[in-house]
Amino acid sequence: MRSLSGATILITGGTGSFGNRVARHLLDLNPAQIRIFSRDEKKQWEMQRRWPQFRYIIGDVRDAGRLDEAMSGVQFVFHAAALKQVPSCESYPLEAIKTNILGTQNICTTARAAGVKTVVALSTDKAVKPVNAMGTSKAMMEKLVCSQNQFGGSTTFCCVRYGNVMGSRGSVIPLFLRQIQENTPLTLTVPHMTRFLMTLDQSVDLVFHAMTMAQGGEIFVRKAPACTVQTLAEAMRRKYSPQGTQHPIQEVGIRAGEKIHEILVNEYELQRVSESETYFNIHPEYRLPKELTPQALGSEYSSENTRRLGSFEEITPLLDAAGVVEEYT
């Protein structure tokens, strides 16, 4: 991996679930400084009480001038700042454009100007064949980032893409826990809806893999199991509710902009991947390696056809590994 020892690192959206976890992992690599860039002073204050050794910078990725100041002297950038709540982006799609697309362009421009070595941007399965404003804006975010190296340059840009991160902001797990604590029914959208399951630590492993492997323009995907929301709800009530399997579950219907199944790699991307046991590396059209591992034409990698977790015994270890706390979010 590119050495982070003695480096200055900027994490945008650094007070979010991912930002917190990656910052902790980065401490073990002896960087010179970790800068936490976000727009919420309350979350920064709460995070600073626990991690005073980081430098905290109030700002918004929509503000290119503020990014110029924050990125001065930075070698590595983890770009996690985003609007990622599907319902709010459906109501206010222009806001998703301003943050997820225009804010990302600001990141790319300022990183080049500052001489940053590597930028790793975080994306989502909802960017693949998007059906909602959040996913559409993230798809354009990927295009912006992955286009940066087609004409050269000293800064390496790449993306990572993952599905549901357990316990993170927007994950259904904290919602189910609150409903269990409040003794209210667990609310499901559609019982047979499937979602990928990945822990925060696994998402951090993915960005480190990206930083290790990136030549410029790739999208990196970590393979993950999936389960139905019905199976997840049943496992959580059995594990956490005093009522156990008697805790009620209520079906409320699909929300605007939601898919039944999520796709992590589409059929076109699967023709330009290199694959290992754990990862797909999606290579850009302008830099295809000699060795590829294309899949069958028309096939996709989705939460419907990945390894399916179907029992309490299979899901419980992941719940234990993930934890359940939404820190500063």
CA atoms of 159 and 143, how far apart (whole Å): 10
Cβ neighbours of residue 317 under 8 Å, at least 6 residues apart? Answer: none
Residue with tokens 């939601």: 258
Q: Could you say which of 42, 84, 98, 126 is catalytic?
A: 126
C-alpha distances (whole Å) from 149 to each of 77, 112, 286 are: 16, 11, 9
Question: Do residues 160 and 82 lie in contact, with contact meaning Cβ atoms separated by under 8 Å?
Answer: no
Structure tokens at 170: 């927007």
Mark whether 259 is an active-site residue. Answer: no
Burial of residue 224, with CB atoms counted within 10 A of its CB: 0-12 exposed, 13-18 middle, 19 or more buried: buried
Q: Which residues pair with 8 in a beta bridge?
A: 33
- Which residues have a catalytic role annotated? 126
